[in-house]
Amino acid sequence: MKSTAPANAPVIASQATPLYAPSYPADVSRVVSILFVDQSGQLGGAEFSLLPLAVTWAARREVLLLSDGPFRTRLESLGVPVRVACDTRVSGIRKRAVHVNWLMALPGIVRQIRTIARHAESFDVLFLNTQKALVLGALGKPLHRKRIIWHLHDIMSGDHFGPLQRLIVRWLTRYAVDHVVANSHASAASLVALTGCAPEAVPVVHNGVDLNEFSHVDDADTGALRRRLGLPEDVYLAGLFGRLAPWKGQHIALAALARLPDLHLVLVGSALFGEQAYVASLREQAARLGVEDRLIFAGFRDDMPAWMKAVDVILHTSTEPEPFGRVIIEGMAAGRPVIAASAGGVTEIVRHRKNGWLVPPGNVEALADAIETLHAAPELAQRLADQALIDVSRQFSVEAYLEQMKRTIALATGVAAITNAASPASA
Ligand code: UDP
Ligand code: GLC
């Protein structure tokens, strides 16, 4: 990567030569073969972001997963070839890992580095979609010698990652990663701060949503969903969507629920990465606050558009800066007003009182006030939701996302320069 580091520091990206030199405009997804690597078998935001890219990549591509799970079945059902290479000694290491038994983990790490390198051999590019994929894929660079693109989905701050992971990322970014694409300016800035690389070396592509998935849900579906939940259709219902994890701040929403006796709340999502103790603490909190009869734990759901359209207001309550927040653009696509925690990538999506409502992260009082305000002013809530729908279709559509990702990959592989020179219209 290009770096602001001393002039003698290796600058890998600038040494990269074009992979292909077609004499005609080329769609990068037709000419460059890619091995995508993701550590998770679960369906999280990074995986939902990879999904349309892997599905629409026309040249040879494969997804290598370092854990098995519903992400594999989802990819396969959409015709994407998948391979699973799981090693429990590695999948057990968590992102804030401090006390890792390296002696136990090391053989697994070496094995996975070699597995990724072996699979990468027959592809042009190695696309690393998660932190562990980055570490294992980049450490194997001397074996596979493939061009590495890292899709950064995280804010690389001490809030989210331990010192060791940050050190490893700094080192790998400088010496092994050829190109990075970040999911938000907040994520990009955190990498620039961590590594000292040049800001222009970290292009940003925001996530996108498929608006068709949302327009196909009608009011009859959402009414039926409310009845299935045992809720009267006229009850004021807030929804919080996403995995149950302490930094996603479901406890903040429960505390706000306790302050608003007319409110009902549905939590859609489950603990994807073993946060069972947090789920238990949420249930205890609900009992302690006496809000159990106004709270629904819906678990993980596959039909997010229907769930989002069934609520009156959508909450986002992350207590740490959210790298991007797909659930926010999905809420906007559902045509519902969104109240979001103002930090990280969220401020690149939500404009306060214009297309949503921002509150300070972790502030129960501000969240409760915002819910009350929108409940009391349905025209204001509708105006925000209408603007949100316009903004999401202009800036956060899956089409725009794919177009920008492909353009970024094209630039990274040298295809775009040739394409654009041949066809100025495609620039
Ligand atoms: N999601 C889902 N079902 C659920 C809960 C969440 O399909 O029950 C999806 C949600 O629609 C979103 C993703 O999981 O696309 C979560 O992504 P986000 O970027 O909001 O957060 P992350 O968990 O990746 O930090
Ligand atoms: C990560 C982030 C989330 C982001 C998603 C997709 O999972 O936590 O904020 O929306 O990646 O980029």
Domains and CATH numbers, the chain: 28-208+397-426 (3.40.50.2000), 211-395 (3.40.50.2000)
Q: How many Å lie between the centroid of ligand 2 and the Cα of residue 68?
A: 20
Nearest ligand 2 atom, CA 151: 12
Q: Is the CB of 259 under 6 A from ligand 1?
A: no
Q: How confident is the model at residue 122 (pLDDT cuts 50, 70, 90)?
A: very high
Q: Is the CB of 324 under 6 A from ligand 2?
A: yes
In this structure, which ligand is nearest to the CA of 43? 1
Q: Is the pLDDT of residue 279 over 50?
A: yes
User: pLDDT tens digits for 131-154?
Assistant: 999 999 999 999 999 999 999 999
Query: 88 versus 264: which is more confidently predicted?
Result: 264
H-assigned helices in 161-203: 163-175, 185-195
User: pLDDT tens digits for 8-30?
Assistant: 333 334 345 666 655 445 689 99
CB-side neighbour CA atoms (13 Å) of 329: 28
Per-residue confidence (pLDDT) for residue 129, from 0 to 100: 98
Q: Is the CB of 326 under 6 A from ligand 1?
A: yes
Q: How many Å lie between the centroid of ligand 1 and the Cα of residue 43?
A: 7
Of the chain, the percentage scoring pLDDT greater than 90 comes to: 76
Q: How many Å lie between the centroid of ligand 2 and the Cα of residue 171?
A: 23
Q: How many Å lie between the centroid of ligand 2 and the Cα of residue 38?
A: 13
Contact assessment for residue 169 and residue 182, using Cβ atoms and an 8 Å cutoff: no
Per-residue confidence (pLDDT) for residue 299, from 0 to 100: 95
Per-residue confidence (pLDDT) for residue 410, from 0 to 100: 93
Work out the angle at residue 28's Cα, subtended by the Cα atoms of residues 154 and 37, and round it to the nearest 5 degrees: 40
Q: How many Å lie between the centroid of ligand 1 and the Cα of residue 327?
A: 6
Cα(209)–Cα(202) distance, integer angstroms = 22
Nearest ligand 2 atom, CA 326: 10
Q: How many Å lie between the centroid of ligand 2 and the Cα of residue 47?
A: 9
Q: How many Å lie between the centroid of ligand 2 and the Cα of residue 154?
A: 7
Sheet arrangement for strand 236-241: 295-299, 263-268, 236-241, 313-315, 338-341, 357-359
Q: Is the CB of 183 under 6 A from ligand 2?
A: yes
Q: Is the CB of 300 under 6 A from ligand 1?
A: yes
Contact assessment for residue 263 and residue 233, using Cβ atoms and an 8 Å cutoff: no
User: pLDDT tens digits for 30-54?
Assistant: 999 999 999 999 999 999 999 999 9
Per-residue confidence (pLDDT) for residue 13, from 0 to 100: 41
pTM confidence score: 0.92
Q: Is the pLDDT of residue 424 over 50?
A: no
Q: How many Å lie between the centroid of ligand 2 and the Cα of residue 48?
A: 9
Q: How many beta carbons lie within 10 A of that of residue 174, not counting itself?
A: 18
Q: Is the CB of 268 under 6 A from ligand 1?
A: yes
Cα(65)–Cα(82) distance, integer angstroms = 7
Q: Is the CB of 297 under 6 A from ligand 1?
A: no
Per-residue confidence (pLDDT) for residue 183, from 0 to 100: 98
Nearest CA to ligand 1 atom 24: 45
Nearest ligand 1 atom, CA 47: 24
Spatial CB neighbours of 156, under 8 Å, sequence gap ≥ 6: 166, 169, 187, 190, 191, 193, 194
Q: How confident is the model at residue 262 (pLDDT cuts 50, 70, 90)?
A: very high
Q: Is the CB of 44 under 6 A from ligand 1?
A: yes
Per-residue confidence (pLDDT) for residue 11, from 0 to 100: 33
Sheet arrangement for strand 147-152: 82-84, 61-65, 34-38, 125-128, 147-152, 179-182
Contact assessment for residue 309 and residue 334, using Cβ atoms and an 8 Å cutoff: yes
Spatial CB neighbours of 353, under 8 Å, sequence gap ≥ 6: 384
Single-letter amino acid code for the residue at 279: V
Q: Is the pLDDT of residue 166 over 80?
A: yes
Q: Which residues pair with 151 in a beta bridge?
A: 181
Helix axes 378-395, 364-376, angle to 10 degrees: 100
In this structure, which ligand is nearest to the CA of 241? 1
Contact assessment for residue 385 and residue 335, using Cβ atoms and an 8 Å cutoff: yes
Q: Which two tokens stand for residue 190?
A: 């955190």
Block residue for tokens 């800001």: 199
Of the chain, the percentage scoring pLDDT greater than 70 comes to: 88
* Bridge-based pairing state of the strands 125-128 and 34-38: parallel
* Bridge-based pairing state of the strands 125-128 and 82-84: unpaired
Cα(204)–Cα(206) distance, integer angstroms = 6
